[in-house]
Structure 1
Amino acid sequence: MKAIEYLKFSEVNPHKFLPILNGYKTRKHLIEHEIFTLKTVTEWMHSKIEVDKEAGCRVRAIIVDDELAGWCGIQQECGKYEIAIVIDDQFWGVGRVVFQDLMRWARELNHDEVLVNFHHTRPIYKFLEKISEDIYESKIYGSKFTTYKIKLK
């Protein structure tokens, strides 16, 4: 089992996020955006630090065996709480553990439900189908997503 830990963004060097956020396989499954520079990744990280301060939200860097693997969080999108997980392709196998940790966090934060928004380029996930109250298509920032609505209470 790989050792997984979560760090606040303020504890991570922005240089380490650049190859993850600019990686082809990662970008393929996200809203289209410009390639990150050190300046824009630093700005993005500061925006996530601010999200982390909001009630009901938690945003963390994912560290696997002492290496930055990506980021995850519970954040507000369109007035609802969503779970976000972005992991570099070399670490995709840890996604399920990260998801379980996020669900635990959502319960700790007393959320009644959370959404998981996966870009339309991603396949339907059977394990999410099983635990979702509803699955529907949504548009966020002009991109199409499959949204899984998961009740927690």
Structure 2
Amino acid sequence: MTGLEYVSFEEIAPTDFLPILNKSSTRTHLIAHEVFDLESVNAWMQGKIAVDAMPGCQVRAIRIDHQLVGWCGIQLENDQYEIAIIIDDAHWGLGKTVFRDLMSWAKAFGHNTVFIHFLHTRPEYKFLRKLSKNVSQNEFMGHQFTSYELAVSASSR
């Protein structure tokens, strides 16, 4: 895809994340939380920067033609590496490309397995079910999720 960049959070102004993180179409698929303000988005970004510094993790902002359109990453949660992709709805078609890139990062890190946890508001993804070693329904932080367990080598082809 032309113009796709993955950049460090340090290169992004907190104000650039506010419209994406507070957009109702984004919030629909995330655990409920207060609307971000400059202070809370800055704290959130610092948390992602800290995750990015952890071994086996990588968190990046996503830009298309120099415009911020979301973020993605490999994060360590509950002793499991998970991938996250949050993209502004105007660019949702970008998700499969970002997914493939994340799986390549996971392979480069030497991960054997990664997880994707989708809030119950998301539909089932047949291509993820097909790639998954296991699909389960789980509860985290009082919310229902569909969890896909992916073998990195099988998924990164």
TM-score, length basis structure 2: 0.95
Q: SS where residue 49 of structure 2 aligns?
A: helix
Give 1:98-113 correspondences, 5 Å limit: 98-113=98-113
TM-score, length basis structure 1: 0.98
Distance 1:152 1:103 in 2: 6
Unaligned runs of 5+ in 1: none
**Partner residue in 1 for 2:44:** 44
Q: SS where residue 145 of structure 1 aligns?
A: strand
Percent pairwise identity: 51
RMSD in angstroms over aligned alpha carbons?
Answer: 0.8
1:32 equivalent to 2:27? Answer no
Distance 2:67 2:45 in 1: 17
Runs of 4+ residues deviating >4 angstroms: none
**Partner residue in 2 for 1:71:** 71
**1:3-36 C-alpha deviation (Å, 9 max, x unpaired):** 2110000110000000000000000000110000
Distance 1:115 1:145 in 2: 12
In the alignment, residue 101 of structure 2 is paired with which amino acid?
A: D
**Partner residue in 1 for 2:120:** 120
Q: SS where residue 15 of structure 2 aligns?
A: helix
**Partner residue in 2 for 1:91:** 91
**1:88-129 C-alpha deviation (Å, 9 max, x unpaired):** 101101010000000000000100100001111000001101
* Pairs aligned (count): 153
1:16 equivalent to 2:9? Answer no
Q: SS where residue 104 of structure 1 aligns?
A: helix
Q: SS where residue 33 of structure 1 aligns?
A: coil
